[in-house]
Amino acid sequence: MTSRRVFLKSGAMAMVTMGFAPSFLARTAAATGTRKKLLITVFQRGAVDGLNMVVPYGEADYYRARPSIAIARPGAADGAIDLNGFFGLHPRMSSFKPLWDRGDLAIVHASGSHDTTRSHFDAQDYMESATPGVKSTSDGWLNRYLQAKDDERNPLRAVALTQQMPRTLQGVAPALAMGNTADFAVADISARTSFEEIYQAAQDKSLHGTAGEAFDAMRTLAKSTSGRYQPANGAVYPRSPFGQALQEIARLAKSDVGLEIAFAESTQWDHHVNQGAGSGQMANRLDDFSRGIAALAQDLGERMADTVILTMSEFGRAVAENGSRGTDHGHGNAMFVIGGGVKGREVYGTWPGLKADQRFEGRDLAVTTDFRDVFSEVVMKHLGAGAPTAAKVFPGYQVKASAFRGILDM
Amino acid sequence: MWTRSFAALSLLAVIAGRPQAGAPTAIPATDDAIVHALNRLTFGPRPGDVARVKAMGLQNWIDQQLSPARIDNATLTARLARLETLSLDSATIQHDYSGPAMVERRQRKLENTNTEPPDPVMRPPSRPEAASARSRRSSLGLVRAEADTRGGPPSDVQRKDRQVIADIEEAKLLRAVYSERQLEEVLVDFWFNHFNVFAGKGATRNYLNEYEREAIRPNVLGNFRDMLEATAKSPAMLFYLDNWENVSADSPSPRGAERRAPRAGASPTRAGGPSPASPEGARPKRGINENFARELMELHTLGVDGGYTQADIVNVARALTGWTIRPREGSGTLFVQRLHDDEEKTVLGHTIKAGGGQNDIEQVLDVLAAHPSTARHIATRLAARFVSDNPPTALVDRAAARFTATRGDLREVVRTIVTSPEFFSPDAYRAKVKTPLDFVTSALRATGAEVRSAVPLARELREMGMPLYFCQPPTGYNDTASTWVSAGGLVSRMNFAVALSKNQLRGVHVANPSADLETTIGSPAFQRQ
């Protein structure tokens, strides 16, 4: 009992202080290139307040704009965790600090879309399709990546640990959405056989295709993921839906079913009222978010050498707090990029400042990095896609290396 | 005038679409057409329904469904009678059900602080204080109900509290399966989703019953402006989209009574005691909250491309200041003049004069309800629900025109859509994929299942990603195929088909299930409507 509590408290930090940092620090593993690259994307739905997540505590205007919800400076009670003398992490994200210190965590601040919408739905749609301003795009950017590198029709190549297929993965390439691996089976064998026959015979293209992937995946999963899952390296996931989804991703990654793209979502970031500061609603969501991701990195261990975890949210929030100690919809935001090949310990992007005339429309953090600059760097450098593939993944957008922020080793 | 030209137009459309027939009506009499109408206007055909509709005539049946008050519904009424919380008002629910459970939960949390190792998300070890636990609970409302079950058997107080949600879930499923007024139930589901509120957000759950019963249900075949006002002024919506905290920037007493009211923890209250250090920070100032104003325009009326600006959002938010509730008491809606911004505002080019007071909201709703973008948005959504995920433009045009001509008479807009040639075009037959709710209820209706308890059904819907009353974002559930066609979803549906046909769902019974029942319910054809 006691040991568990101690572990919960210390988490990943203990790994470092006890002297056995995960071996994914050994970056040489990444160079061997024998194992498949893994990209795990995490969507923070509801528009996280990036200014309280990655806090520009060095900017006086931040405090002027947020009299009751600002995160205090490092050193103060519930103060930010200093990163570089200007930015700090929210105090409840301490599980990210070891990743930062080891150079495996990079941040891109003031990133987002050049489309001005402050609609959750539209902004999520634009980010997931990676075509801001274009609603008619039928598929998501991750699915277009799968289409462009269609060298194998493995149903477990791309998996969303969500009940509904996220827009990011919608499209003609095979991808799966499932709540978890354990329930992903038709338990009744004779029924399974009958179902497979009728779906095979069906004229219904979309259901036929989806069911075919489901049956293939079921067979593979039955062989590869039996029994109870035991996280490695002492990783402890939050017992939240998000924590459980990440644990399922680790399980799939380690069971060698050919996972290349994984998706999970963290929800409830729309804090218009009583957002809180060092503690409160948002603090609790950040705690879940960061502990989940830190546990995933710890659990994947040396596999992190071949892995990138990329987080995103549809837009940021207004610089100034609103009349209810919350924040209304804004613009620029912060993304995290985590992995063995990441040139971490750095906040990338051009900081636009928070003075009224530096803000977007006088109110929001301005966007200085197009989110597609980050996505395309990941697609090309991490997943190894060539320029023609990248062009297909990001239609209507000029993918160019000069726009990359230099977050990843080549 | 308009009606006549519309009639001529639609007749032309029919003739143009079917040159072989001089048919006087757009409604074909085939069995396929009847099945299609049953698929879309009900929660699925029951055995014998096709013959029944055929006997009375499809047109007559549609007319009858459009006037539900004339349809006898005694069987359903009898089934609903045992749900004791269904007819209660919000204040009673708060006082007798949610309130006591909240007090008990808080008590338990304080007592347990130093004993049981908690769920790390619900209560991280470093943050045991009650204020933090309270705000965490409200941000994780969905998790809360389930988390209660972990610490042993529920107390009587907790059981009673849970009854509120259990009853409304049960009522929804019983109505979907057993109501004779099927179109009405389909529309209640549609409009609740359009004006979605989330039971997991604090006090919203106390107001849920009243919301569906009084703001949605009476208006689904009535006037849009009435429903818009009923939802906009409902405590459920005022809480869910935060307008109860939307006040004029000049409001007096930053810690006034209205603000303090929700401290009981039914809501996302102020987190963790005093404000953090913010050396340069001025005193916290009250002021507007844009949340409801934005969603009112984007989702409820104009649509995201409906032509409003950020300035319109701010001005609508200002017009809505002062409309509040006291969630701790389960109070009804109040207008508090001193919290209202009474200066002049401009909304979509209309001037709202200073001094309008509580009339400001009426003016805003008038402008929004009468706007052509609203007609188009509502027409599009209804046509997408009833015809296809991407409804034909000509149909949307006619439905929007009908909306405008009738000043938002929803019965006439629905009638236009469901009697249109586009609705009865074979292209539309089985063009839609069922949502989990449609799937589960249509399976129950097709098998003539006897539902003694809807609890296992509600659980199935949660697992299929469509928990009743727990859709968190204000967009509501998407009802398009791209959302619901997923491998995980199909596997769940197949397992449901097996469980239903083998009578493995407790509280649900299928008499004499046929041998091929599971493959029928689990088949690709049955996933479509």
Test mutation, B138, B289, B486, B502, chain A, max A CBs within 10 A:
B486
Long-range contact pairs involving B514-520 (C-beta distance under 8 Å, separation at least 24): B517/B447, B518/A188, B518/A191, B518/A194, B519/A191, B519/A194, B519/A195, B519/A198, B520/B446
List, as ranges, residues 247-266 from B with C-beta within 8 Å of A: 247, 249
Looking at residues A37-62, what average pLDDT do you find? 98
Alpha-carbon span A235 to A252, nearest angstrom: 16
Q: Which helix (H) or strand (E) holds B519?
A: helix B517-521
* Residues of A in Cβ contact (< 8 Å) with B277: 72-73, 76-77, 79
Pairwise pLDDT comparison (B144 vs A208), residue with the higher score: A208
Question: Does the pLDDT value for residue A200 go beyond 50?
Answer: yes
Closest Cα to residue A8, out of B134, B139, B129, B126? Answer: B126
Residue position matching structure tokens 């769920």 = B119
Contact residues, chain B, for A320 at CB < 8 Å: none
Are the beta carbons of B528 and A204 separated by less than 8 Å?
A: yes
| A120 contact residues in B (CB cutoff 8 A) | 473, 475
Q: pTM of whole model > 0.90? A: no
Helix pair angle (B393-405, B2-17), 10° resolution: 160
Share the mean pLDDT of chain B.
Answer: 84
Q: What is the mean pLDDT of residues B272-297?
A: 67
Which residues of A are less than 8 Å from B276 in CB distance? 68-72, 76-78, 277-278
Tell me which chain A residues have a C-beta less than 8 angstroms from the C-beta of B485: 165, 206-207, 210
pLDDT for residue A12 is more than 90? no
The reply to whether ipTM tops 0.85 is no
B22 has pLDDT over 60:
no
A170 in Cβ contact with B484 (< 8 Å): no
Partner A, chain B 272-331, Cβ-Cβ below 8 Å: 272, 275-291, 294, 298, 304, 310
Mutate to test the interface with A, among B288, B478, B485 (most CBs of A within 10 A): B485
Q: Residue A67: which of B124, B278, B294 has the nearest Cβ? A: B278
CA–CA gap between residue B506 and residue B500 (Å, rounded): 9
3-state secondary structure B3-47: HHHHHHHHHHHHHHHCCCCCCCCCCCCCHHHHHHHHHHHCCCCCC
Burial B102-117 (b: 16+ CB within 10 A, else e): bebbbeebeeeeeeee
Which range, of A42-56, A147-161, B350-364, averages the lowest pLDDT? A147-161
- Interface A:B, Cβ pairs < 8 A: 270
Check CB contact under 8 Å for A67 and B495.
no
* Percent of chain B whose predicted confidence (pLDDT) is above 70: 81
Alpha helices in B67-181, H assignment, sequence order: 74-80, 90-92, 99-112, 130-139, 141-147, 156-178
Cross-chain Cβ contact B498/A208 below 8 Å: no
Closest residue in A to B314 (Cα–Cα): A328
Which residues of chain A does B523 touch, with a Cβ-Cβ cutoff of 8 Å?
Answer: 195, 198-199, 202
Helix axes A189-201, A205-224, angle to 10 degrees: 150
| Nearest CB partner across the interface for A274, out of B140, B270, B290 | B270
Sequence-distant (≥ 6) Cβ neighbours of residue B7 within 8 angstroms: none
Closest residue of chain B to A75, computed from CA coordinates: B277
Q: State whether A186 and B278 contact (CB < 8 Å).
A: no
DSSP output for B413-429 = HHHHHHTSTTTTSGGGT
Name the band, by pLDDT with cuts 50, 70 and 90, for residue A223.
confident
Question: What pLDDT score was predicted for residue B284?
Answer: 55
B46: closest CA among B439, B442, B446?
B446
Specify the range with the lowest mean pLDDT, choosing from A381-395, B231-245, B264-278.
B264-278
B14 or B514: which leads in pLDDT: B514
B158 or B368, which is more confident: B368
User: What is the tens place of the pLDDT at every residue in B30-55?
Assistant: 999 999 999 999 999 999 999 999 99
Say if the Cβ atoms of A68 and B278 lie within 8 Å: yes
Q: What is the pLDDT of residues B109-162, one digit of tens each?
A: 777 654 433 333 322 222 223 333 333 233 323 333 333 444 567 888 888 888
B377-428 residue pLDDT tens: 999 999 999 999 999 999 999 999 999 999 999 999 999 999 999 999 999 9
pLDDT at site A154: 86
Residues of B in contact with A162 (CB under 8 A): 465
Nearest CA of chain A to the CA of B451: how many Å?
A: 24
Counting beta carbons within 10 angstroms of the beta carbon of residue A402, is it exposed (0 to 12), middle (13 to 18) or buried (19 or more)?
exposed
Closest Cα in chain B, distance from residue A300 (Å): 21
Does the beta-carbon distance from B282 to A64 stay under 8 Å?
yes
Mean pLDDT of A288-296: 98
